[in-house]
Structure 1
Amino acid sequence: MDINDYVYKEPHPFGDLSIIAMKGCEEIASKIDYYLKAWRQDNNGVIYSEDSQEKTFLLDAVCPRFGSGEAKGVINETVRGKDIYIISDVFNYGVTFKMYGMEVPMSPDDHYQDLKRIIAAMNGKAKRITVIMPMLYEGRQHKRATRESLDCALALQELTSMGVENIISFDIHDPRVQNAIPLHGFEDFHPHYQMIKAFVRTFPDSKIDRNHMMIISPDEGGMSRCIYYSSVMELDLGMFYKRRDYSVIINGKNPVVSHEFLGDNVEGKDVIVVDDMIASGDSMIDVAKKLKERKARNVYVFSAFGLFTEGFAKFDKAYEEGTISRIFTTNLIYRKPELDNKPWCVEVDMSKYIANIVDTLNYDRSLSELLDPVQKIKKLLKKC
């Protein structure tokens, strides 16, 4: 056949795309479904070759529970030959179930078990299974300091042994946990572009240069994350290191005695403190106070996961006192409804990004540009 006779054909998906939203993920899954439908419909508004515009990529799957708290996974549609993407937020404590007449919030362990139940319900009939777990289950238990369990590694091995081909997560505490499953797909995405975009939209008049802004790491463990921000935004970098009391353990960890700062002068500058998660928030507020003592102009916080395990009162106070100006956090995990009304919180929507990841994987295309959006960030900052 002559090369001129070649007719370009649209690439075909790896399999029929289907998305399963585990309990508590319905909202973000619905947004992902919206984007995928918009991208994949033809000029007549028809998705693929089906006649109905009401087509959805969401698959009907549930985990009903018995009165004892036990459960089972049920899928009410066929999965044979499908490319399945399961979205699971194991940190959604807003989901409850009844056990012996009591209303019980679901723990990460409960969510993880439900995830396995749905995978088991497929009976190996799906063409490919990808688990999207925005905040990795047991991600903080990634290494062994003494005689203790390695829960994250065990969970990853368990999922892949059940037939999961790819695991997608965000801002993983330590991405080296992927060493537990070296022969399977494991991708660690970051909300760098989305965070910077949200910041620029919220503060369009901010001066993003070395004379007016700095990136700060709240501890030594988050340096690689902050180095990326400082490099693409062309800003100077500072760091705090935590002095801990290793003689005692409180709430499962050694308490922080003080935060010591290493870096250039922050006086009169806006500073962006970047961390993977906000748990109780004590460390973050302490870092912000130290920066304000050094006469920083505004303290902004970028954190992918806002857990706020001890409520919002301390953040309300920090905002009223001017210690923290804004906290940018994503919708990757459950957020209490009242957080929407907090003037110090800006939600960074990640649904379009996840939809892009799903769309790319379903067509078996490269994820390189999605993993490292440096050119998009540079283009965004040039407009500022």
Structure 2
Amino acid sequence: MEGRLQIFSGNANRPLAKEIASHLNINLGRAMVGRFKNGESRVKLEENVRGSDVFVIQPTCTPVNEHLMELLLLIDALRRASAARVTAVMPYYGYAKQEKKTTGREPISAKLVANLIRTAGAHRVLTMDLHAPAIEGFFDIPVDHLQAGPLLAEYIRDLNLPKPVVVSPDAGGVGRANSFRERIGAALAIIAKQRPQPDVAEVLEMVGDVEGRTAIIVDDMISTGGTLAEAARSLKERGALAVHACATHGIFAGDATSIIEKSMLVETIVTNTIPLPPNCEGARIRVMSVAPLFAEAIMRIHKDLSLSALFS
């Protein structure tokens, strides 16, 4: 596309934004993103964006509503300042778990968020590992959907774990786990679970053999850590030699890091789509950077090139 490439960021994950800008050999755009004394979000661009191809890097992680508002205001400011194109780069898409009604009289929040982003003036969205891939269809603008699986699989493959078996922590993640299994050449197991209430899971049964094998639990996000700790305990009870975990988004809500620290997990590997919470040194968490992948995707979008090569 014609026009200068510029990158701006809200306060959600500035270290990732700086790392992406560094890979692209450009400086992060100057913008004041803060609050007025009455608590309202405040945004002011401090450089010219007229005719530019602008990317706003802002995962909508905790506090979700505040970071979402910053993103919307940044997009609106850029559009009103005559940016030629605005891409919302959302490494983590908040509200993704609310993509359907589970009971009556509930909103479909993930769809509403998609409407807000489009209404604010975004021309396209770049995201990673949506909790429900159908969310892509909620947008009436192009969505580029990156995957962290290849990056995480490469790390696991280099560990040369004995007799690996990839474990999906629920039936919904079987496709993700199977693709991961193919990348590292491992067996597959599935944990069947039910949620008696939100954020509470209980293991019911397991399909597949894990005895005498090294188990790798693969999921898209780690929220409370309860499911993960329970799955690790269940796998050890069924004879797994050791249990590792991989996930794209390390949300680590509440006391998740202390739950993981006390669990039977050898190591938990996540990416830096979301900043790690403080005080998690003892939780054996390893962070892989997705900055090179996002930088490559941004450059390809800017130059109107295909992104297909990034999914191989």
| TM, length-normalised to structure 1 | 0.76
Structure 1 Cα separation of the partners of residues 5 and 49 of structure 2: 10
Distance 1:173 1:24 in 2: 19
Measure the CA separation in 1 of the matches of 2:173 and 2:248. 12
Q: Separation in 1 of the partners of 2:7 and 2:83?
A: 12
The CA distance in 2 between the partners of 1:178 and 1:200, in whole Å, is: 30
Q: Does 1:355 align with 2:295?
A: yes
How many residue pairs align between the two structures? Answer: 309
The Cα offsets for residues 62-89 of structure 1, whole Å up to 9 and x where unpaired, read as: 2232211013220011111100000002
The yes-or-no answer on 1:36 pairing with 2:29 is no
Aligned to 1:338: 279
Matching residue of 2:85: 128
Quick one: distance in 1 between partners of 2:202 and 2:72? 40
Contact preservation (8 Å) 1:259, 1:287:
no
* Residue 111 of structure 1, aligned match among 67, 70, 73: 67
Aligned letter for 2:299?
D
* One-letter amino acid of the counterpart of residue 55, structure 2: Y
Identity %: 25
Task: Tell me which amino acid in the other structure corresponds to 2:90.
Answer: M
Is structure 2 residue 201 aligned with structure 1 residue 256?
Answer: yes
Aligned to 1:67: 37
SS at match of 1:69: coil
Preserved CA contact (<8 Å) 2:258 2:283: no
| Cα pair 1:20 1:59 within 8 Å, conserved | yes
**In structure 1, what is the equivalent of residue 105 of structure 2?**
147
Secondary structure at 1:77's aligned position in 2? coil
Cα distance between partner residues in 2 of 1:83 and 1:227: 37
Residue matched to 1:180: 138
Distance 1:33 1:291, change over 3 A: same
What stretches of structure 2 of length at least 5 have no aligned partner?
Answer: none
Q: 1:90 aligns with which of 34, 56, 60?
A: 60
CA distance in 2, matches of 1:137, 1:255: 19
| Contact 2:12/2:67 (8 A) holds in 1 | no
> Residues 124 and 163 of structure 1 are in contact (CA less than 8 Å); yes or no, is this contact kept in structure 2?
no
Check whether the contact 2:19–2:291 (CA below 8 A) recurs between aligned residues: yes
1:324 to 250, 262, 265: 265
Give per-residue Cα distances to partners, 1:175-208, cap 9 Å, x unaligned: 1022222x4111221111211233345x2x434x
Q: Are residue 206 (structure 1) and residue 145 (structure 2) matched?
A: no
The verdict on how the C-alpha distance between 1:36 and 1:179 changes in structure 2, with shifts beyond 3 A counting, is same
- Alpha-carbon RMSD across the aligned residues, in angstroms, is 1.7
Q: CA deviation at 1:310?
A: 2.6
Which amino acid in 2 is paired with 1:289? R
Provide the residue aligned with 1:242 in structure 2. 193
Q: Which residue of 2 aligns with 1:315?
A: 260
- Counterpart in 2 of 1:96? none
Runs of 4+ in 1 over 4 A off after TM superposition: none
Secondary structure, counterpart of 1:338 in structure 2: coil
Task: Report what 1:9 is aligned to.
Answer: none
**Corresponding residue for 2:246?**
302
Q: Secondary structure at the match of 2:35?
A: coil
Amino acid at match of 1:314: I
Q: Specify the code of the residue in structure 1 equivalent to 2:286.
A: V
Counterpart of 1:221 (choices 137, 160, 172) is 172
Instruction: In structure 2, give the amino acid aligned to 1:85.
Output: F
Q: 1:198 to 1:337 in 2, by over 3 A?
A: farther
Structure with the higher fraction of residues in strand conformation? 2
Q: For the Cα contact (< 8 Å) 2:164–2:213, is it kept in 1?
A: yes
Q: In structure 2, the residue corresponding to 1:81 is in which secondary structure? A: coil
Partners in 1 of 2:42 and 2:279 — Cα distance?
32
- Structure 1: gaps (5+ residues): 1-12, 38-55, 94-106, 374-384
Alignment of 1:282-297 (within 5 A): 282-297=226-241
- CA change 1:137–1:254 in 2 (3 A) is closer
